[in-house]
Amino acid sequence: MDVNVTLEWKGAMGFDAEIDGHTIRLDADNKVGGNNTGPSPKKLLLVALGGCTGMDIVSLLKKMRVDVEKFTVNVDSFQTEDEHPFVYDHYKITFLFDGNELEKRQDKIVKAVILSQERYCGVSAMLSKSAPITYEIRVNGQTIEQ
């Protein structure tokens, strides 16, 4: 399948990206000539990573009949600072699950995370070719050892 997005320059550093009928404003911080009217393209990589794996996990847990009351995905990146181009050289994803009696379903939660990271998430697969991705799983505030 071919994928296409179109970006239209809106002045200064701003662009509007048209994706499947949705518009996303991209911009840069004021200190580099932007107007800070939207996220930077590089930070959107982190959104794509978190969104891709998060959607996988929600789908997998639904099929496994695991009811989660709250699910949060935090993506941290570590950026090189020595010379241009500054790139992310490591990603860490923290998966936070909250809900009644989830401690009894930890095996399913861990399985869903592993399946997403190792099999289904295309963004993780692409980004992991250039930098390592690590992750941590927390259920009701407790870190789960894998």
Would you list the domain boundaries of the chain?
A: 1-39, 41-144
CATH superfamily assigned to domain 41-144: K homology (KH) domain (3.30.300.20)
Q: Are strands 88-98 and 22-26 parallel, antiparallel or unpaired?
A: unpaired
* Pair type for strands 88-98 and 70-79: antiparallel
In tens, the pLDDT along 78-116 reads 999 999 999 999 999 999 999 999 999 999 999 999 999
- The string of pLDDT tens digits covering residues 39-92 is 999 999 999 999 999 999 999 999 999 999 999 999 999 999 999 999 999 999
What is the value of pTM for the model shown?
A: 0.94
